[in-house]
Structure 1
Protein backbone atom coordinates (compact mmCIF):
# COMPACT_ATOMS: atom_id res chain seq x y z
CA UNK A 1 0.00 0.00 0.00
CA UNK A 2 1.34 3.45 -0.94
CA UNK A 3 1.83 5.90 1.89
CA UNK A 4 -0.72 8.67 2.08
CA UNK A 5 0.25 12.11 0.82
CA UNK A 6 0.19 14.86 3.45
CA UNK A 7 -1.43 18.17 2.59
CA UNK A 8 -1.09 21.33 4.66
CA UNK A 9 -4.27 23.41 4.35
CA UNK A 10 -4.15 27.01 5.56
CA UNK A 11 -7.21 29.22 5.89
CA UNK A 12 -8.42 31.63 8.59
CA UNK A 13 -12.02 30.55 7.92
CA UNK A 14 -12.36 27.50 10.15
CA UNK A 15 -15.52 26.31 8.39
CA UNK A 16 -13.76 26.29 4.99
CA UNK A 17 -10.80 24.55 6.58
CA UNK A 18 -13.04 21.89 8.13
CA UNK A 19 -14.82 21.21 4.81
CA UNK A 20 -11.51 20.92 2.92
CA UNK A 21 -10.05 18.63 5.56
CA UNK A 22 -13.08 16.32 5.39
CA UNK A 23 -13.11 16.35 1.58
CA UNK A 24 -9.41 15.46 1.33
CA UNK A 25 -9.36 12.89 4.15
CA UNK A 26 -12.27 11.00 2.56
CA UNK A 27 -10.10 10.75 -0.58
CA UNK A 28 -7.19 9.22 1.30
CA UNK A 29 -4.99 12.20 2.13
CA UNK A 30 -3.52 13.10 5.51
CA UNK A 31 -4.44 16.70 6.25
CA UNK A 32 -2.71 19.16 8.54
CA UNK A 33 -4.53 22.44 9.17
CA UNK A 34 -3.43 25.91 10.21
CA UNK A 35 -5.41 29.13 10.62
CA UNK A 36 -2.51 31.54 10.12
CA UNK A 37 0.91 31.79 8.53
CA UNK A 38 3.00 31.31 11.67
CA UNK A 39 1.15 28.11 12.59
CA UNK A 40 1.61 26.88 9.00
CA UNK A 41 5.37 27.57 9.06
CA UNK A 42 5.70 25.66 12.35
CA UNK A 43 3.82 22.64 10.97
CA UNK A 44 5.66 22.73 7.64
CA UNK A 45 9.04 22.86 9.39
CA UNK A 46 8.30 19.95 11.70
CA UNK A 47 6.46 17.51 9.40
CA UNK A 48 6.83 15.93 5.97
CA UNK A 49 4.39 17.82 3.72
CA UNK A 50 3.71 16.82 0.10
CA UNK A 51 1.58 19.82 -0.92
CA UNK A 52 0.43 23.15 0.53
CA UNK A 53 -3.01 24.62 -0.15
CA UNK A 54 -3.37 28.13 1.26
CA UNK A 55 -5.81 31.00 1.06
CA UNK A 56 -4.48 34.39 -0.01
CA UNK A 57 -6.39 36.38 2.62
CA UNK A 58 -4.73 35.36 5.88
CA UNK A 59 -4.27 37.66 8.91
CA UNK A 60 -0.78 39.06 9.68
CA UNK A 61 0.85 37.31 6.69
CA UNK A 62 -1.01 36.79 3.43
CA UNK A 63 -0.90 33.49 1.57
CA UNK A 64 1.62 34.75 -0.98
CA UNK A 65 4.07 35.81 1.76
CA UNK A 66 3.52 32.44 3.45
CA UNK A 67 4.38 30.61 0.24
CA UNK A 68 7.54 32.71 -0.04
CA UNK A 69 8.63 31.56 3.43
CA UNK A 70 7.75 27.92 2.76
CA UNK A 71 9.57 27.92 -0.61
CA UNK A 72 12.73 29.07 1.23
CA UNK A 73 12.43 26.00 3.47
CA UNK A 74 11.50 23.47 0.78
CA UNK A 75 11.21 24.80 -2.79
CA UNK A 76 10.31 21.42 -4.32
CA UNK A 77 6.97 21.13 -2.48
CA UNK A 78 4.08 22.15 -4.77
CA UNK A 79 1.94 24.99 -3.44
CA UNK A 80 -1.53 26.13 -4.47
CA UNK A 81 -2.84 29.60 -3.64
CA UNK A 82 -6.60 30.22 -3.52
CA UNK A 83 -8.63 33.41 -3.27
CA UNK A 84 -12.24 34.47 -3.40
CA UNK A 85 -11.38 38.15 -3.95
CA UNK A 86 -8.53 38.02 -6.48
CA UNK A 87 -8.69 36.34 -9.87
CA UNK A 88 -5.86 34.46 -11.54
CA UNK A 89 -3.45 36.84 -13.22
CA UNK A 90 -4.55 39.95 -11.31
CA UNK A 91 -1.60 39.80 -8.92
CA UNK A 92 1.82 38.18 -9.12
CA UNK A 93 2.33 35.23 -6.79
CA UNK A 94 4.94 32.61 -5.88
CA UNK A 95 2.60 29.62 -5.93
CA UNK A 96 2.83 26.76 -8.41
CA UNK A 97 -0.89 27.18 -9.13
CA UNK A 98 -3.56 29.79 -8.43
CA UNK A 99 -7.23 28.92 -8.11
CA UNK A 100 -10.14 31.30 -7.65
CA UNK A 101 -12.41 29.81 -4.99
CA UNK A 102 -15.61 30.42 -6.93
CA UNK A 103 -14.26 29.22 -10.28
CA UNK A 104 -13.52 25.59 -9.56
CA UNK A 105 -15.67 22.83 -8.14
CA UNK A 106 -14.52 20.60 -5.28
CA UNK A 107 -13.91 17.84 -7.84
CA UNK A 108 -11.63 20.13 -9.87
CA UNK A 109 -9.76 21.15 -6.72
CA UNK A 110 -9.24 17.51 -5.73
CA UNK A 111 -8.03 16.66 -9.24
CA UNK A 112 -5.53 19.56 -9.21
CA UNK A 113 -4.28 18.41 -5.81
CA UNK A 114 -3.98 14.81 -7.04
CA UNK A 115 -1.93 15.82 -10.07
CA UNK A 116 0.30 18.26 -8.20
CA UNK A 117 0.92 15.99 -5.20
CA UNK A 118 1.89 13.10 -7.47
CA UNK A 119 5.22 14.75 -8.13
CA UNK A 120 7.43 17.16 -6.28
CA UNK A 121 8.75 20.24 -8.01
CA UNK A 122 12.38 20.93 -8.83
CA UNK A 123 15.29 18.78 -9.98
CA UNK A 124 15.65 15.31 -8.60
CA UNK A 125 18.63 14.82 -6.39
CA UNK A 126 20.98 12.13 -7.67
CA UNK A 127 22.19 9.67 -5.08
CA UNK A 128 25.88 8.97 -4.61
CA UNK A 129 25.62 5.34 -5.88
CA UNK A 130 23.76 6.57 -8.97
CA UNK A 131 26.50 9.12 -9.64
CA UNK A 132 29.18 6.45 -9.22
CA UNK A 133 27.34 4.18 -11.63
CA UNK A 134 27.05 6.99 -14.15
CA UNK A 135 30.78 7.74 -13.81
CA UNK A 136 31.64 4.06 -14.22
CA UNK A 137 29.45 3.81 -17.35
CA UNK A 138 31.15 6.88 -18.78
CA UNK A 139 34.61 5.40 -18.16
CA UNK A 140 33.64 2.09 -19.77
CA UNK A 141 32.20 3.90 -22.81
CA UNK A 142 35.34 6.02 -23.24
CA UNK A 143 37.66 3.00 -22.86
CA UNK A 144 35.78 1.09 -25.58
Structure 2
Protein backbone atom coordinates (compact mmCIF):
# COMPACT_ATOMS: atom_id res chain seq x y z
CA UNK A 1 0.00 0.00 0.00
CA UNK A 2 1.40 3.38 -1.01
CA UNK A 3 2.06 5.89 1.72
CA UNK A 4 0.06 9.09 1.36
CA UNK A 5 1.82 12.43 1.50
CA UNK A 6 0.05 15.78 1.64
CA UNK A 7 2.13 18.72 0.38
CA UNK A 8 0.77 22.15 1.30
CA UNK A 9 2.57 24.48 -1.11
CA UNK A 10 1.48 27.43 -3.27
CA UNK A 11 4.49 27.47 -5.62
CA UNK A 12 3.83 25.26 -8.64
CA UNK A 13 7.51 24.60 -9.40
CA UNK A 14 8.25 23.43 -5.85
CA UNK A 15 5.10 21.33 -5.91
CA UNK A 16 6.04 19.73 -9.21
CA UNK A 17 9.57 18.85 -8.07
CA UNK A 18 8.52 17.34 -4.74
CA UNK A 19 5.60 15.47 -6.32
CA UNK A 20 7.90 14.09 -9.01
CA UNK A 21 10.51 12.91 -6.48
CA UNK A 22 7.95 11.38 -4.12
CA UNK A 23 5.97 9.60 -6.84
CA UNK A 24 9.19 8.26 -8.34
CA UNK A 25 9.84 6.64 -4.94
CA UNK A 26 6.38 5.10 -4.81
CA UNK A 27 4.44 7.60 -2.71
CA UNK A 28 0.96 8.93 -3.40
CA UNK A 29 1.11 12.74 -3.27
CA UNK A 30 -1.83 15.10 -2.82
CA UNK A 31 -1.45 18.85 -2.96
CA UNK A 32 -3.13 21.80 -1.32
CA UNK A 33 -2.43 25.34 -2.48
CA UNK A 34 -3.17 27.21 0.76
CA UNK A 35 -3.40 26.64 4.49
CA UNK A 36 -7.16 26.13 4.86
CA UNK A 37 -7.25 23.78 1.89
CA UNK A 38 -4.36 21.91 3.51
CA UNK A 39 -6.17 21.56 6.84
CA UNK A 40 -9.33 20.35 5.06
CA UNK A 41 -7.33 17.92 2.90
CA UNK A 42 -5.50 16.54 5.94
CA UNK A 43 -8.82 15.82 7.68
CA UNK A 44 -10.17 14.10 4.58
CA UNK A 45 -7.05 12.18 3.47
CA UNK A 46 -5.44 11.30 6.82
CA UNK A 47 -2.00 11.26 5.16
CA UNK A 48 1.03 9.45 6.55
CA UNK A 49 3.04 12.68 6.38
CA UNK A 50 2.39 16.37 5.76
CA UNK A 51 4.98 18.53 4.01
CA UNK A 52 4.25 22.15 4.79
CA UNK A 53 5.47 25.35 3.19
CA UNK A 54 5.67 28.25 5.66
CA UNK A 55 5.02 31.12 3.21
CA UNK A 56 1.42 30.46 2.20
CA UNK A 57 -1.37 32.82 1.14
CA UNK A 58 -4.06 33.74 3.73
CA UNK A 59 -2.60 31.66 6.60
CA UNK A 60 1.10 30.96 7.19
CA UNK A 61 2.48 27.49 7.76
CA UNK A 62 2.99 28.11 11.49
CA UNK A 63 -0.76 28.70 11.89
CA UNK A 64 -1.53 25.66 9.76
CA UNK A 65 0.74 23.46 11.91
CA UNK A 66 -0.88 24.73 15.12
CA UNK A 67 -4.38 24.05 13.75
CA UNK A 68 -3.39 20.55 12.63
CA UNK A 69 -1.91 19.83 16.07
CA UNK A 70 -5.09 21.10 17.75
CA UNK A 71 -7.18 18.47 15.94
CA UNK A 72 -6.94 15.18 17.91
CA UNK A 73 -7.58 13.14 14.73
CA UNK A 74 -4.59 14.72 12.99
CA UNK A 75 -2.24 15.38 15.90
CA UNK A 76 -0.21 12.19 15.35
CA UNK A 77 0.64 12.90 11.71
CA UNK A 78 4.25 14.03 11.26
CA UNK A 79 4.56 17.52 9.79
CA UNK A 80 7.77 18.60 8.07
CA UNK A 81 8.26 22.28 7.22
CA UNK A 82 9.74 22.68 3.73
CA UNK A 83 10.72 26.30 3.57
CA UNK A 84 13.07 28.95 2.28
CA UNK A 85 13.03 30.52 5.76
CA UNK A 86 16.57 29.59 6.72
CA UNK A 87 17.52 32.28 9.21
CA UNK A 88 18.60 31.55 12.77
CA UNK A 89 15.50 30.80 14.78
CA UNK A 90 13.30 29.74 11.84
CA UNK A 91 13.81 26.03 12.54
CA UNK A 92 12.89 26.55 16.22
CA UNK A 93 9.84 28.58 15.22
CA UNK A 94 8.65 25.77 12.94
CA UNK A 95 9.27 23.12 15.58
CA UNK A 96 7.52 25.11 18.30
CA UNK A 97 4.48 25.54 16.01
CA UNK A 98 4.18 21.76 15.89
CA UNK A 99 6.38 20.64 13.02
CA UNK A 100 8.43 17.48 13.56
CA UNK A 101 11.14 18.47 11.12
CA UNK A 102 12.48 21.15 8.85
CA UNK A 103 13.88 20.95 5.32
CA UNK A 104 15.35 24.03 3.66
CA UNK A 105 14.50 25.12 0.13
CA UNK A 106 15.74 24.87 -2.43
CA UNK A 107 15.53 21.16 -1.68
CA UNK A 108 18.42 18.92 -2.57
CA UNK A 109 16.96 16.03 -4.61
CA UNK A 110 19.83 13.77 -3.45
CA UNK A 111 19.05 14.14 0.25
CA UNK A 112 15.37 15.11 0.22
CA UNK A 113 13.94 11.58 0.11
CA UNK A 114 16.20 10.43 2.93
CA UNK A 115 15.09 13.38 5.06
CA UNK A 116 11.41 12.69 4.35
CA UNK A 117 11.72 8.95 4.95
CA UNK A 118 13.29 9.55 8.38
CA UNK A 119 10.04 11.21 9.44
CA UNK A 120 7.92 8.42 8.00
CA UNK A 121 10.09 5.86 9.82
CA UNK A 122 9.55 7.72 13.10
CA UNK A 123 5.81 7.35 12.67
CA UNK A 124 6.07 3.60 12.11
CA UNK A 125 8.04 2.94 15.30
Match of 1:116 in 2: 119
Q: Secondary structure at the match of 1:28?
A: coil
Gaps of 5+ in 1: 125-144
Match of 2:105 in 1: 101
Specify the structure having the higher radius of gyration (Cα): 1
Alpha-carbon deviation of 1:88?
A: 5.6
RMSD of Structure 2 on Structure 1 (CA): 1.9
Gaps of 5+ in 2: none
Match of 1:128 in 2: none
Alignment length (residue pairs): 119
Alpha carbons of structure 1 residues 111 and 88: separation in structure 2 relative to 1, 3 Å: farther
Q: Secondary structure at the match of 1:108?
A: helix
Question: Does residue 75 of the first structure (1) align with residue 78 of the second (2)?
Answer: no
Distance 2:85 2:15 in 1: 17
Q: Secondary structure at the match of 1:59?
A: coil
1:84-143 CA-to-partner distances (Å, cap 9, x unmatched) read 1333633512211112214x512212111112112328xx9xxxxxxxxxxxxxxxxxxx
- For residues 61-72 of structure 1, the aligned pairs below 5 Å read 61-72=59-70
TM-score scaled by length of structure 2: 0.85
Determine if contact 2:10/2:57 at 8 Å carries over to the other structure: yes
Q: Secondary structure at the match of 1:12?
A: coil
1:36-83 CA-to-partner distances (Å, cap 9, x unmatched) read 011111111111200000111001111111111111222211110122
